């Protein structure tokens, strides 16, 4: 059974990991999709700004065209080399003005986003006399080739669009054609937050479903373990009660056999001794049955006959009776209360106190001290013994029905695991509480608190 539970836990953990991984993968896919969707949205919105920026400032655009034209013509004339053209294009004096205009346009047209951008020049190609192209400049997009914009790196930016411009002209009887290509890169500030905000619903739903799954898993495993514990406890109980019943039944069997012998029946002394044995074993069987019956009742089903009792006197009578039954035990009292009147059921409380005292004897004590105190306005009775003690990790289960501490050879000691359960039920029925303090090998102290 234990192996099956472990196997089940292992399978469930694997299933949980697989499901969580799938969920994470789905969330990642949704995130990638949202990023792509976001880029498309930004591209579409920026695409509305006309291609050659002429609507931003037509004067600047014509200045730019004039510059390109003069640079091309100087190149044809042989006055300028390629790097002069590149420097001329990249360091034009109108660049800051264009950057500011575009920024302002973004702020006006896309007020919900804070956008950084860069327009970089990729190509500057001159075709002379319809001949082969003279590539003055052609590169992959680099931030160093920035024409306009405030971006410092293209790393986290995405391409919005590329613009190809052509200019035709004639210079010194040469027809030429200029082809330029520039690309616009943008980076939206806090774009991750924007996307996460758009994914709130999906994230919350996934988180909630994983949490539900884990909770269900934990609840199911807990229930399984509890069930296993109950079934173990029941098996233990059956073993214990069988063991408890065997001795009196065997004695009864032997006694009956002996009584069948005529010479025994004729000897009064022997006859009486056998009858006494039968009667004792009969009582023992009766007690066992009573104990099981009494403990089949739940706390709220116990019928109490409560009366006002002077508790110290009541305790003393239990102690004195106990001393007569166990003359070898050193039973001491340390009462620091006087004439405390409590409303108790005399019969059940006596049985509960006796259970605790008998356990002390059963589990190895020679000296027992019964103490009374007032603690936090409650009446406290404690039973301190010098027996074998109880390991800390077993203490939480002590008051459970049928629970017995398994201690190797110790369970030569007879019992059904009902004594402390009964104590707990009776104390609870009096709205009190019972607790234990113990260390293995160092004795045990049970404390019962009752309302004054
Ligand atoms: P049992 O019939 O086994 O005595 P109880 O419910 O009375 O059942 O006690 C439960 C378990 O608690 C016992 O099996 C025993 O191991 C442990 N126990 C109870 N009282 C003491 C004690 N005074 N000292 C050590 N162990 C104790």
Q: pLDDT digit of tens for each residue in the chain (452 aa)? A: 678 888 888 888 899 899 999 999 999 999 999 999 999 988 888 877 655 666 666 777 778 888 888 888 888 777 777 788 888 888 888 888 888 888 888 888 888 889 999 989 888 888 876 666 777 778 888 898 888 888 999 988 999 888 888 888 777 777 788 888 888 899 998 888 999 999 999 999 999 999 998 999 899 988 988 888 778 777 877 877 787 788 788 888 888 888 888 888 888 888 888 888 888 888 888 878 877 777 666 656 677 889 999 999 999 999 988 888 888 999 999 999 999 999 999 988 998 999 999 999 999 999 999 999 999 999 999 999 999 999 998 898 899 888 888 654 444 677 788 889 989 989 999 999 999 999 998 999 999 999 98
Res 51: pLDDT: 59
Phi/psi of residue 426, each to 5°? -65, -45
CA dist., res. 193 & res. 199, Å (int): 10
Query: Which residues fall within 8 angstroms of residue 166, CB to CB, at 6 or more apart?
Result: 177, 178, 179, 180
Residue 440 contacts residue 390 (beta carbons within 8 Å): yes
Side-chain-side CA neighbours of 356 within 13 Å: the count stands at 30
Annotate 156-168 with b (16+ C-beta within 10 A) or e (fewer). ebbebeeeebeee
Q: Which residue's CA is the closest to the ligand 1 atom numbered 23?
A: 360
> Of 241, 404, 408, which is best to mutate to test ligand 1, by the most ligand atoms within 8 angstroms of its C-beta?
404
The 10 Å Cβ neighbour count of residue 83 is: 10
The 10 Å Cβ neighbour count of residue 99 is: 18
Which residues form ligand 1's pocket by a CB distance below 6 Å? 355, 359-360, 362-363, 385, 387-390, 398, 403-405, 415-421, 444
Residue 196 contacts residue 145 (beta carbons within 8 Å): no
433 alpha carbon – ligand 1 mean position (Å)? 17
Q: Which residue's CA is the closest to the ligand 1 atom numbered 2?
A: 415
> Of 352, 358, 420, 439, which is best to mutate to test ligand 1, by the most ligand atoms within 8 angstroms of its C-beta?
420
Res 409: pLDDT: 44
Res 112: pLDDT: 85
Residue 240 contacts residue 417 (beta carbons within 8 Å): yes
**388 CA: nearest ligand 1 atom:** 25
359 alpha carbon – ligand 1 mean position (Å)? 6
Residue 137 contacts residue 147 (beta carbons within 8 Å): no
Structural Rg of the chain based on CA atoms: 48
Residue 368 contacts residue 357 (beta carbons within 8 Å): yes
360 alpha carbon – ligand 1 mean position (Å)? 8
Residue 152 contacts residue 143 (beta carbons within 8 Å): yes
445 alpha carbon – ligand 1 mean position (Å)? 12
Supply 135's token pair. Answer: 């590539």
CA dist., res. 67 & res. 54, Å (int): 15
User: Domain 301-451 is of which CATH architecture?
Assistant: 2-Layer Sandwich (3.30)
Token match 């950057």: residue?
A: 99
Query: Which residues fall within 8 angstroms of residue 343, CB to CB, at 6 or more apart?
Result: 306, 307, 308, 309
Residue 306, SS3 per DSSP: strand
Q: Which residue's CA is the closest to the ligand 1 atom numbered 13?
A: 404
430 alpha carbon – ligand 1 mean position (Å)? 22
In this prediction the pTM is 0.53
**446 CA: nearest ligand 1 atom:** 23
> Of 239, 240, 359, 442, which is best to mutate to test ligand 1, by the most ligand atoms within 8 angstroms of its C-beta?
359
CATH 3.30.565.10 location in the chain: 301-451
Q: Of 231, 237, 381, 380, whose CA–CA distance to 295 is shortest?
A: 237
427 alpha carbon – ligand 1 mean position (Å)? 17
392 alpha carbon – ligand 1 mean position (Å)? 13
310 alpha carbon – ligand 1 mean position (Å)? 28
Q: Which residue's CA is the closest to the ligand 1 atom numbered 7?
A: 419
Res 130: pLDDT: 62
Residue 190, SS3 per DSSP: coil
CA dist., res. 184 & res. 156, Å (int): 13
């Amino acid at each position: 059974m234990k192996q099956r539970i472990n196997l089940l836990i292992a399978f469930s953990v694997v299933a949980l990991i697989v499901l969580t991984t799938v969920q994470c993968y789905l969330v990642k896919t949704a995130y990638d999709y949202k990023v792509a969707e976001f880029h498309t949205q930004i591209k579409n919105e920026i695409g509305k700004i006309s291609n050659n920026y002429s609507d931003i400032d037509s004067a600047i655009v014509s200045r730019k065209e004039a510059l390109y034209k003069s640079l091309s013509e100087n190149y044809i004339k042989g006055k300028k080399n390629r790097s002069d053209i590149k420097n001329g294009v990249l360091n034009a004096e109108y660049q800051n003005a264009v950057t500011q205009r575009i920024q302002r346009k973004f702020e006006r047209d896309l007020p919900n986003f804070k956008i950084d951008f860069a327009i970089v020049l990729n190509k500057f190609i001159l075709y002379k006399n319809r001949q082969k192209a003279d590539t003055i400049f052609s590169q992959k997009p680099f931030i160093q080739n920035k024409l306009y914009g405030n971006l410092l790196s293209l790393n986290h930016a995405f391409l919005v669009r590329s613009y190809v411009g052509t200019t035709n002209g004639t210079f010194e009887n040469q027809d030429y054609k200029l082809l330029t290509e520039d690309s616009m890169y943008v980076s939206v500030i806090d774009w991750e937050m924007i996307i996460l905000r758009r994914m709130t619903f999906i994230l919350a739903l996934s988180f909630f479903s994983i949490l539900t799954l884990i909770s269900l898993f934990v609840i199911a495993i807990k229930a399984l373990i509890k069930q296993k514990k109950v079934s173990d406890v029941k098996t233990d109980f059956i073993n214990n009660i069988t063991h408890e019943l065997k001795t009196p039944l065997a004695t009864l069997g032997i006694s009956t056999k002996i009584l069948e012998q005529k010479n025994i029946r004729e000897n009064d002394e022997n006859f009486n001794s056998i009858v006494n044995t039968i009667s004792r074993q009969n009582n023992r069987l009766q007690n066992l049955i009573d104990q099981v019956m009494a403990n089949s009742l739940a706390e709220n089903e116990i019928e109490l006959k409560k009366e006002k009792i002077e508790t110290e006197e009541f305790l003393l009578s239990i102690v004195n009776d106990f001393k007569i039954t166990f003359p070898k035990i050193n039973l001491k009292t340390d009462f620091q209360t006087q004439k405390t009147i409590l409303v108790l059921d005399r019969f059940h409380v006596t049985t509960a106190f006796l259970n605790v005292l008998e356990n002390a004897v059963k589990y190895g004590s020679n000296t027992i001290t019964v103490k009374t105190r007032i603690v936090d306005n409650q009446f406290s009775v404690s039973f301190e013994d010098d027996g074998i003690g109880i390991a800390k990790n077993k203490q939480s289960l002590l008051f459970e029905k049928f629970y017995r501490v398994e201690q190797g050879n110790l369970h030569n000691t007879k019992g059904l695991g009902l004594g402390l359960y009964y104590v707990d039920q009776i104390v609870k029925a009096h709205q009190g509480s019972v607790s234990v303090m113990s260390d293995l090998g160092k004795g045990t102290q049970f404390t019962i608190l009752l309302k004054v």
